[in-house]
Amino acid sequence: MTNHIFLDASFWIAYRNERQNCHREARRILAEIFRHRIKFVTTLPVLCEIHAHFSRTPEKKRVILQDFENNPLVHIEEVAHADQQLAFKLLRRQTDKSYSLCDAVSFVVMQRLGLKQALAFDEHFRQFGEFEIIS
């Protein structure tokens, strides 16, 4: 997938929440991403994290759904059974890390798709060490 970047929940939460420390940085980065016509790849578990974060704010929930539903700039990659198994294996192997299952699924999907970059403010993407983190 050329011209694609993985989108993590931490980045979109910062973008949509003006009170987040990284909000301005997220807006700046997104303007650059849009200028270069780069498309996003993410997964349903990531979208669930984003939606859950804003679940107490009806207006934000509506905006989040609009951001991703039928958006031609966003590809929601299905998580295959093999991805799930590899994510479980990763978590069992790397017990010294504090990755979530959602993080592990993201890493595995990125590896499968050959994605090298991620939009993330989540320290776990850096901790994993295999991707260029844009933040």
Angle at 47 between CA 24 and CA 17, to 5 degrees: 25
C-alpha span between 125 and 11 (Å, rounded): 12
Find the Cα–Cα–Cα–Cα dihedral 98, 10, 116, 3, rounded to 10°.
160
Q: Would you state the pLDDT for residue 123?
A: 85
34: pLDDT strictly greater than 60: yes
Give the pLDDT score at 59: 92
With a cut of 70, say whether residue 14 has pLDDT above it. yes
pLDDT for position 1: 47
C-alpha 23/C-alpha 27 separation (Å) is 6
First to last CA, the chain: 21
Sheet of strand 4-7: strand arrangement: 74-77, 39-43, 4-7, 117-119, 132-134
Cα–Cα dist 75/115, whole Å: 13
CA distance 77 to 97: 25
What whole-number percentage of the chain has pLDDT above 90? 81
Count of domains for the chain = 1
Mean pLDDT, to the nearest integer, of 31-57?
94
Residue 135, pLDDT score = 79
Q: What CATH number has the domain bearing residue 117?
A: 3.40.50.1010
What is the spatial distance between Cα 86 and Cα 80, in angstroms, rounded to a whole number?
Answer: 10
Q: What is the arithmetic mean of pLDDT over 15-21?
A: 93
The residue range of the domain holding 55 is 4-134
Nearest in space to 6 (alpha carbons), one of 56, 32, 40: 40
pLDDT digits (tens, 9 = 90+) for 64-85: 999 999 999 999 999 999 999 9
pLDDT in tens, 102-126: 999 999 999 999 999 999 998 888 8
